[in-house]
Structure 1
């Protein structure tokens, strides 16, 4: 007998029929002799619908109240799934994130887990129940409800698996596993049988939506065996683990993209010590993540530099920079959107020179200019105009010999969380 944590995303529980199918899938796992803890997201587009309704009332709703609102989607899901399990003769109990023991830092919208106290979960398992836990949510020590941000249900599942020493954490989604790129763009994408934590973490951070970066971080830190598979088929999924065998001739494992990109440029800044610290320190205090940073040459004691932030943070970042004008004079600040960051990732890149040059060549042959570049040992990222995203990804996928003849199975709309 093994202990499984099974996470189902929003598309997997999008309506009552899919809810019944998920209940049957869980029952099959229990019939194999295993204990089951299930983590679920809100049904379908529930969360997006709640956000849209809130913004009809207030264009800038308070973060605390938004967390109070958005956690309702998951609470509906856990109750519905528990009801579905009871309907097929299974003992099940549903818990909110805080009932399951999740404690978080006092940050609304993007809270991090500080502690997990899973006594209720363990007791229910001992009582023979299937435990259904709401993803994406927790509670501060002083009783405030918080959410983990997009992808938070993945984080809930992996963190809970670590806390209860689960044997496996399975992430069920609408595709058969982790692919070399988005199968909605490249139909001949290659399904990976396994991938390392480091490669998956890079892909997740670079825009691959199949797993949330924090979930991969938890899995790596706690050595959680992580499997990504489809909730619509019984096909073998992709195992995420410490080390993987290198496939002969495969240097790049995956290609990710991120459309949520804006570039901000600050022009005519005095080239003196402390300038970058001032700018990026202020952005950090405002909880704005900065990605790629590029500084140009110095002319007459002045320098220009550019950096990227999430498109959703662009206005907030511009306001922060304008607030620095009196302490940090500059001639101009501007921003650019309609950008995308395309990244190649692979552990084999470390020992293969020329991988980046090949990427630049492929992009140039598509008639696309590269605006910014960032590299690490196992990835290369390029910021380009978003108009030819599909063409560039397909060209890169072919160039790095990732195409297959197999047809990708996609079961439904992409999971939101």
Structure 2
């Protein structure tokens, strides 16, 4: 069997199927077999999720199971379209959905975890002369039901295939040409990183950067898979994700991210803090940044949290917030970072609603209206501009 290359194409990449097909064909002409993991076309999953949530809050397992059936449709469409495109340019391609292999998961719908992947069918297809296997990302199967891995979960699928095939590198193709110190759409002078550590990109991904799914980074780090983030549309050097000891460049701050997908919940009478947080966590609501009588949760979980709480509880939900995260090895130990951060906040008269710190991240909650300007100001203050 020829050597195998693993490629993952996100939804924005699939707006140009001919370009994607040519990237795959180029590797095949060099003597490789290609496993291409695909996402849904850009916007499709968001549209389906919106429609489902207009009908229900999806609070029960049966509804979430049907929700996964709906959300997994986009990847199936992408599989078929890309396989047809490849066949049209002379590449012997075959598409595979999760149930056909199968990709076996637990039954935690919409956030399922992979238990095992059977690769005999893909191996056999390569032996039979197929040179490209197109895999539907983001999805698995539990018993006879489709499961999904959470938004952005095609990254998990791609890294998992690299693991089971023993491939040491996985290529992730997007509409940007690498990982930057901040979102270039917000900070035009953001600098592209040649390399970044697993821990740093894990924090960036968990803090709002839409680059790699955090679980895919954890999987790559565990199995020492080098991840290359590349552009589908430009043939330029991307960014490599690897162990900290292998990162050649080192900056005080690696990146600044922000998220507006959380709500800040503040209790006016928080006598039963532990009991309340226990009940919320027990309902699988992720709690972030506990800060005095306040904490962050996903906006999607606000309705569920409200149902769990005693009607006599006094609390306020603030949806109009943003979480700014400053990422870098040793940021908490370096007093210069905190001094510069507070300097900018003070000069701009921006109120801090909550703050947490670790050795690799400082996260600050502010009013949403300040977020983008604050990111630009911090980026300049830390001397990250190109």
* TM-score strictly above 0.5: yes
C-alpha deviation, 1:48, in angstroms: 2.5
**1:200 match:** 201
Question: Aligned runs of 1:2-401 on 2, under 5 Å?
Answer: 2-14=3-15, 18-54=16-52, 58-60=55-57, 62-129=63-130, 130-140=132-142, 142-243=143-244, 244-245=246-247, 247=249, 250-270=251-271, 275-295=272-292, 305-322=293-310, 330=313, 332-349=314-331, 352-401=334-383
Count of paired positions: 379
d(CA) in 2 for partners of 1:98, 1:317: 34
Q: Which moved more, 1:98-107 or 1:252-261?
A: 98-107
**For 1:342-391, what per-residue CA distance to the aligned partner results, in whole angstroms no more than 9, with x for missing partners?**
01111153653331222122122222111101111011000000102111
- Structure 2 residue runs of 5 or longer lacking an equivalent are none
Q: Name segments (4+ residues, structure 1) moved above 6 Å.
A: none
d(CA) in 2 for partners of 1:70, 1:147: 8
Task: Compute the TM-score of the two structures, normalised by the length of structure 1.
Answer: 0.87
d(CA) in 2 for partners of 1:145, 1:279: 33
Contact 1:3 1:35 in 2 (8 A): yes
Contact 2:221 2:242 in 1 (8 A): yes
C-alpha change, 1:189 and 1:128, in structure 2 (3 Å) is: farther
Task: Compute the TM-score of the two structures, normalised by the length of structure 2.
Answer: 0.93
d(CA) in 2 for partners of 1:351, 1:333: 34
d(CA) in 1 for partners of 2:321, 2:257: 14
Contact 2:93 2:134 in 1 (8 A): yes
- Structure 1 residue runs of 5 or longer lacking an equivalent are 296-304, 405-417
**1:412 match:** none
Q: Which moved more, 1:157-166 or 1:119-128?
A: 119-128
**For 1:76-108, what per-residue CA distance to the aligned partner results, in whole angstroms no more than 9, with x for missing partners?**
110111111111111111001232331111122
d(CA) in 2 for partners of 1:210, 1:68: 25
Looking at both structures, which has the greater relative contact order when contacts are Cα pairs under 8 Å and sequence separation is at least 6?
1
Please tell me the root mean square deviation across aligned C-alpha atoms, in Å.
1.8
d(CA) in 1 for partners of 2:370, 2:257: 15
C-alpha change, 1:215 and 1:30, in structure 2 (3 Å) is: same
C-alpha deviation, 1:314, in angstroms: 1.6
